[in-house]
C-alpha cells in the first residue's frame, strides 16, 4: 500500500519557536498519537477498524472463550468503554458474547466467521503498517529498542 503523505509535517511558518515542546515527552507523545491514528486509519481503511478494535479482535482470536473482563484488563481498556466497543463489534457481526456456565455475570468472547475473515485482512494491513514503521525506524534493532523504551514508560 502506498505511504500516506502527512502534509502537516511541512510547516508553513518555519520561524515558529518550538523549543518549549521539542524536548517534552508529553508534547511529543501527543503529537505522535495524532499521526499514529492518521497513519493507522490509512493502512486499515480497507477493514474499517480503529486501533482498539483491532487489538480486541486480535486478542479474542488468540484467546477464544475468555471473559470480557480478562480481555479488557490485559488491553488496558476501561469497563464502560469496553462494553460499548463490544456492542459495536457485535452489531457488525464480528464477535459474539456467550454465557459462562455457573457465572451469570460474565460473558465469554468469540470471533464469528466474519470476524475471523476480517481479522485475516486486518493482519495484512498490519504487516504493511509494521513494515512502514520498521523502515522509518531504520531496522529491527531500532524497533526493539523503541518497544523496550515504550514498555519502560508505560509497561
Task: Catalog residues that contact its own copies under the rule CB under 8 A.
Answer: 6, 8-9, 11-13, 16-21, 23-36, 40, 51-52, 54-55, 58-59, 61-63, 66-67, 69-71, 73-78, 126, 129-130, 133, 136-138, 142-143, 145-147, 149-155
- Element holding 137 (H helix, E strand): helix 113-137
Shortest spacing between CB 120 and its own copies, in angstroms: 13
CA distance 53 to 88: 9
Give the residue with the Cβ less far from its own copies, 92 or 143.
Answer: 143
Specify the residue, 61 or 83, whose C-beta has the smaller distance to its own copies.
61
Nearest CA among 10, 8, 28, 30 for reference residue 19: 28
What residues does 99 pair with on adjacent strands? 107
111 SS3 class: strand
What separation, in Å, do the N-terminal and C-terminal C-alpha atoms of the chain show?
31
- Closest contact distance (angstroms) between CB of 124 and its own copies is 13
Minimum CB separation of residue 23 from its own copies in Å reads 7
CB-wise, 52 or 112, nearer to its own copies? 52
Which grid coordinates belong to 66?
475468555
Q: How far is the CB of 114 from its own copies (least distance, A)?
A: 19
CB closer to its own copies out of 34 and 45: 34
Longest dimension (CA), the chain: 66
Amino acid at each position: 500500500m502506498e505511504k500516506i503523505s502527512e502534509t502537516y509535517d511541512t510547516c508553513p511558518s518555519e520561524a515558529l519557536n518550538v523549543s518549549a515542546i521539542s524536548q517534552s515527552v508529553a508534547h511529543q507523545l501527543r503529537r505522535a498519537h495524532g499521526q499514529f491514528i492518521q497513519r493507522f486509519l490509512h493502512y486499515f481503511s480497507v477493514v474499517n477498524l480503529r486501533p482498539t478494535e483491532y487489538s480486541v479482535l486480535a486478542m479474542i482470536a488468540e484467546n477464544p472463550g475468555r471473559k470480557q473482563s480478562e480481555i479488557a484488563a490485559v488491553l488496558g481498556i476501561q469497563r464502560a468503554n469496553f462494553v460499548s466497543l463490544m456492542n459495536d463489534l457485535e452489531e457488525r457481526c464480528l464477535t459474539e458474547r456467550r454465557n459462562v456456565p455457573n457465572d451469570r455475570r460474565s460473558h465469554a468472547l468469540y470471533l464469528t466467521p466474519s470476524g475471523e475473515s476480517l481479522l485475516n485482512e486486518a493482519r495484512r494491513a498490519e504487516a504493511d503498517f509494521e513494515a512502514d514503521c520498521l523502515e522509518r525506524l531504520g531496522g529491527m534493532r531500532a524497533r526493539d529498542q523503541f518497544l523496550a523504551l515504550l514498555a519502560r514508560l508505560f509497561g
